[in-house]
């Protein structure tokens, strides 16, 4: 796969400076990788200056939400790297989302070349402190100019990136058990990483914030009894020393961080239970102390401990040990692996070639 580099992209890189406070997802590196699909085939992969997109007002993405995205990170640590983590799994999940949303699949070589180019050219702007990273956002939108409700035949695939710090700043999450709205239903698109899933969760985010919570815990659509996931993160609890997480089904995003933690937990000697999780059983376990930890995980958040679950009726369930020794051990192991501080026995880490500009 040949990458066509616009000289203006190199000029933008040479003129770019990171702000002191990078936050999360606020500062973008000044380049983007772009590739268009038209007439049944993918065109040339380009590296362009970061900037606005020009879309026809009838582009299907603007009316019918035909779009997908991924979340990835590149890491630096003490002069080593840059590293990508399980990038091939992101590429595969991206195309699973594409199939569900009736979009063209992106060849893995195009996807990975675009990601590697962004990382390689942005090497100087990858934060070096542990827990910081270059957050990478591959995404694809439907661009066909037509108001008819049918799958688009034109698409634009892009990769952008943001030097980022922690997703959640400090402390433990207060999480609202969502008993009113639902995130996904069986046979729907809950397992696809598409904007509609996130847009539909925002009303609950508003409600949670108004009630003093930071996040939502979603229950199943049919019985509103079984835990599914949080908004943008998977859910774990520690009950009687065992790691519990809801089993994957088509209403839950198959998290790459989730899958990595399951394997790392087994490597560390923990028993992992993947099964349907009844919210009432979990609350009972919190009340009697057999549930000692709860935490959320995802690419952006890594692992974030939960201090309290509550509902709109004012009920609260405080977690026995919000410090979370098991969550803390898993987080440190995962970060050490991602940042190149421990041996990669599973072959998950990839060193990206740095490109001078």
Taking only the tens place, the pLDDT of each residue in 235-293 is: 999 999 999 999 999 999 999 999 999 999 999 999 999 999 999 999 999 999 999 99
CA distance 49 to 274: 44
* CA atoms of 71 and 332, how far apart (whole Å): 20
At residue 250, the pLDDT reads 97
| Residue spans of the chain under pLDDT 70 | 168-170, 357
Q: Fold identical between 3-164 and 173-338?
A: no
- Which CATH number describes the domain made up of 173-338? 3.20.10.10
User: Cβ neighbours of residue 9 under 8 Å, at least 6 residues apart?
Assistant: 30, 31, 47, 48, 49, 121
Using only C-alpha atoms, the chain has a radius of gyration, in whole angstroms, of: 21
Token match 């100087």: residue? 124
In which residue are the tokens 């402190």 written? Answer: 129
State residue 110's pLDDT score.
99
In the block, residue with structure tokens 């990839």? 350
CB atoms within 10 A of CB 44: 11
Q: Which CATH class is domain 3-164?
A: alpha beta
Q: What are the extents of the domains in the chain? A: 3-164, 173-338
- The two three-digit tokens of residue 26, written as one number: 């606020």
Please choose, from the candidates 261, 315, 267, the residue with its C-alpha nearest in 3D space to the C-alpha of residue 293: 261
Number of neighbours of residue 187 by Cβ within 10 angstroms:
8
pLDDT computed for residue 168 by the predictor? 67
pLDDT tens per residue, range 141-154: 999 999 999 999 99
């Amino acid at each position: 796969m040949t990458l066509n580099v616009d000289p203006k992209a190199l000029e933008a890189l040479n003129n770019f400076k990171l702000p002191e406070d990078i936050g999360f997802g606020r500062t973008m590196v000044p380049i983007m990788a772009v590739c268009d699909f038209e007439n049944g085939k993918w065109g040339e992969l380009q590296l362009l200056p970061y900037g606005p997109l020009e879309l026809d007002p009838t582009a299907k993405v603007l009316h019918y939400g035909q779009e997908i995205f991924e979340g990835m990170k590149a890491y630096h640590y003490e002069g080593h790297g840059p590293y990508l983590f399980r990038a091939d799994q992101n590429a595969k999940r991206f195309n699973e989302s594409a199939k569900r949303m009736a979009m063209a699949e992106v060849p893995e070589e195009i996807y990975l070349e675009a990601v590697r180019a962004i990382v390689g050219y942005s090497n100087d702007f990858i934060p070096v402190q542990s827990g910081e990273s270059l957050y990478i956002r591959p995404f694809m939108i439907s661009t066909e100019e037509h108001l008819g409700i049918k799958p688009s035949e034109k698409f634009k695939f892009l990769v952008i990136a943001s030097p980022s710090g922690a997703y959640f700043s400090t402390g433990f999450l207060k999480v609202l058990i969502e008993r009113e709205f639902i995130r996904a239903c069986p046979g729907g698109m809950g397992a696809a990483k598409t904007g509609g899933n996130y847009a539909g969760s925002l009303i609950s985010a508003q409600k949670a914030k108004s009630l003093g919570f930071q996040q939502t815990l979603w229950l199943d659509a049919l019985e509103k009894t079984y835990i599914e996931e949080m908004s943008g993160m998977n859910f774990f609890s520690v009950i009687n020393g065992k790691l519990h997480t809801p089993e994957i089904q088509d209403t839950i995003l198959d998290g790459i961080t989730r899958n990595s933690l399951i394997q790392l937990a087994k490597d560390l000697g923990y028993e992992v239970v993947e099964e349907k999780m009844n919210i009432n059983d979990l609350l009972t376990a919190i009340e009697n102390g057999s549930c000692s930890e709860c935490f959320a995980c995802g690419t952006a958040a890594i692992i974030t401990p939960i201090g309290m679950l509550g509902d709109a009726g004012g009920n609260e369930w405080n977690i026995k040990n919000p410090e979370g020794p098991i969550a803390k051990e898993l987080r440190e192991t995962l970060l050490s692996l991602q940042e190149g501080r421990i041996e990669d026995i599973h072959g998950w880490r990839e060193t990206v070639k740095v490109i001078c500009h």
